[in-house]
Structure 1
Amino acid sequence: MNEPLPLIERARRVTRSVPRAVVCRQTAAHVWGLNALGFGASEDDWPVELIAPGHVTLPGCVTNVTPLPADDITHHRGVRLTTPERTALDCARWLPRVEAVAALDQFARRGVDLDALWRLPTIPWPVRDTLGMADRGAASPRESWLRVVLVDGGLPRPTTQIRVPLAPAGTAYLDLGWELYKLAVEYDGQGHHSSPTAQRHDDLRRRQLRDQGWRVMAVRKDVIPGQTANLLEHVANSLIERGWQPSPGTTTRILSRIRAARRKPR
Structure 2
Amino acid sequence: MATDRQPRVERRERVAAHAAEQAGLLSRPQVRGLGVTAAQLEAELAAGRWRSVGRNTVVVAPPWPTDTVAWWQAVLECAPRAAVGTRPRAAIAGLTALVAAGLSGIADDGLVHVAAPKSSHPVPPPPGVRVHETRRWRDEDVVTILGVPRARPEVAAVQAALWARSDREATLLLVATVQQRLTAIDPLVSVLERVKRDRRRSLLRSVLVDVAGGAHSLNELDFAAHCRERGLPEPDRQVVVSSARGSSYLDVRWRRWRVVVEVDGVGHLQPDRWIDDSLRHNEIALGGDTVLRIPSLGLRLDPRRHLDAVERALRHAGWTPSPPGHPA
Deviation at 1:179, TM superposition (A): 1.8
Given candidates 170, 185, 190, the residue that maps to 1:116 is 190
Paired residue secondary structure (1:65) = strand
The residue number in structure 1 matching 2:261 is 183
Aligned AA (2:184):
G
Aligned AA (1:49):
H
Given candidates 85, 94, 99, the residue that maps to 2:169 is 99
Cα distance in 2, alignment partners of residues 179 and 49 from structure 1: 41
Deviation at 1:129, TM superposition (A): 0.6
The residue number in structure 2 matching 1:58 is 126
Paired residue secondary structure (1:124) = coil
For the 8 Å contact 1:183–1:239, the answer to whether it is kept is no
The residue number in structure 2 matching 1:10 is 70
Structure 2 vs 1, CA of residues 131 and 231 (structure 1 numbering), >3 Å: closer, same or farther? closer
Is 1:46 the counterpart of 2:110? The answer is yes
Aligned AA (1:104):
L
Deviation at 1:92, TM superposition (A): 3.4
Task: Tell me the TM-score normalized by structure 2.
Answer: 0.43
Structure 2 vs 1, CA of residues 218 and 127 (structure 1 numbering), >3 Å: closer, same or farther? closer
For the 8 Å contact 2:261–2:293, the answer to whether it is kept is no
Given candidates 208, 215, 219, the residue that maps to 2:283 is 208
Give the gaps of 5 or more residues in structure 2: 1-64, 80-87, 214-218, 229-240, 254-259, 265-276, 318-323
Is 1:33 the counterpart of 2:99? The answer is no
Task: Tell me the TM-score normalized by structure 1.
Answer: 0.51
Cα distance in 2, alignment partners of residues 165 and 14 from structure 1: 60
The residue number in structure 2 matching 1:132 is 205
Listed one character per residue, the Cα deviations across residues 169-191 of structure 1 (whole Å, up to 9, x for unaligned) are 9xxxxxxx9624341368xxxxx
Listed one character per residue, the Cα deviations across residues 179-210 of structure 1 (whole Å, up to 9, x for unaligned) are 24341368xxxxxxxxxxxxxxx998753341
Paired residue secondary structure (2:149) = strand
Deviation at 1:86, TM superposition (A): 1.8
Given candidates 62, 85, 94, the residue that maps to 2:154 is 85
Paired residue secondary structure (1:133) = helix
Listed one character per residue, the Cα deviations across residues 64-84 of structure 1 (whole Å, up to 9, x for unaligned) are 233422122112344311122
Cα distance in 1, alignment partners of residues 146 and 243 from structure 2: 43
Cα distance in 1, alignment partners of residues 192 and 242 from structure 2: 35
Structure 2 vs 1, CA of residues 103 and 212 (structure 1 numbering), >3 Å: closer, same or farther? farther
Deviation at 1:48, TM superposition (A): 1.0
Structure 2 vs 1, CA of residues 213 and 125 (structure 1 numbering), >3 Å: closer, same or farther? farther
Greater Rg over alpha carbons, structure: 2
Structure 2 vs 1, CA of residues 25 and 61 (structure 1 numbering), >3 Å: closer, same or farther? same
Paired residue secondary structure (2:199) = helix
After the TM superposition, list the runs of 4 or more consecutive aligned residues in structure 1 that deviate by more than 6 angstroms.
202-205
Aligned AA (2:283):
Q
Paired residue secondary structure (1:86) = helix
Cα distance in 2, alignment partners of residues 204 and 75 from structure 1: 46
Aligned AA (1:184):
E
The residue number in structure 1 matching 2:144 is 75
Structure 2 vs 1, CA of residues 22 and 119 (structure 1 numbering), >3 Å: closer, same or farther? closer
- Of structures 1 and 2, the one with the larger relative CO (CA 8 A, separation 6+) is 1
Cα distance in 2, alignment partners of residues 34 and 206 from structure 1: 32
The residue number in structure 1 matching 2:15 is none
Structure 2 vs 1, CA of residues 36 and 51 (structure 1 numbering), >3 Å: closer, same or farther? farther
1:138-157 to 2 correspondences below 5 Å: 154=226
